[in-house]
Amino acid sequence: MSCMFACSRRFGEGGLAKSAIHVASIGGVERGFKVVVCRGCEDPSCAAVCPTRALVRRKGGGVILNAQKCIGCGNCARACPIGAVMWDYESNKPIICVHCGYCTSYCPYNVLALSR
């Protein structure tokens, strides 16, 4: 989970609840883990359902969040087919991966990579 901590610290926050990447067990050490993070959709469903256009398509796939336009409706989180839109319950806004790649250097197993 060091990638999750790295992600949250990247923007000055701390703790797993502020991370745009989530690592979860799929049955313990024997069965492994899954990584849930934005895959950079070319036609992102999260942006399509945003009533205020707070999510705009990012060049290369995915979205960029304009937090000032966001009304916290949660449509984006519900629309993401892989559950990669995390939620900040303090600000009532989505946590969106910015595809910076910071998390990749903190993965001790080298399973994370950023494709451009």
The continuous run of DSSP H or E covering 87 comes out as: strand 86-88
Q: Give the pLDDT band (50/70/90) at residue 109.
A: confident
Distance, in Å, from the CA atom of 45 to the CA atom of 40, rounded to the nearest integer, reads 11
> From residue 30, how far is each of 33, 35, 107 by CA, in Å?
9, 16, 19
pLDDT of residue 33: 83
- Count of CB atoms within 10 A of residue 83's CB? 10
Predicted local confidence at residue 10, as pLDDT: 84
Q: Given pLDDT bands bounded at 50, 70 and 90, which one contains residue 107? A: confident
pLDDT, tens digit, 9 for 90 and up, residues 85-103: 999 999 999 999 999 989 9
Residues 11-37 have pLDDT tens digits of 776 788 999 999 888 887 778 888 999
pTM for the whole structure: 0.86
Q: Could you tell me the domains of the chain?
A: 1-37+97-116 (no CATH), 41-94 (3.30.70.20)
pLDDT in tens, 35-88: 999 999 999 999 999 999 999 999 988 999 999 999 999 999 999 999 999 999
| Position 116 confidence tier, pLDDT thresholds 50, 70, 90 | low
Q: What is the pLDDT of residue 11?
A: 76
Q: Are 65 and 55 in contact (CB under 8 A)?
A: yes
Q: Are 70 and 54 in contact (CB under 8 A)?
A: yes
The closest alpha carbon to 63, from 87, 90, 99, 92, belongs to 99
Structure confidence at residue 28 (pLDDT): 72
**HEC assignment per residue over 7-20:** HHHHCCCCCHHHCC
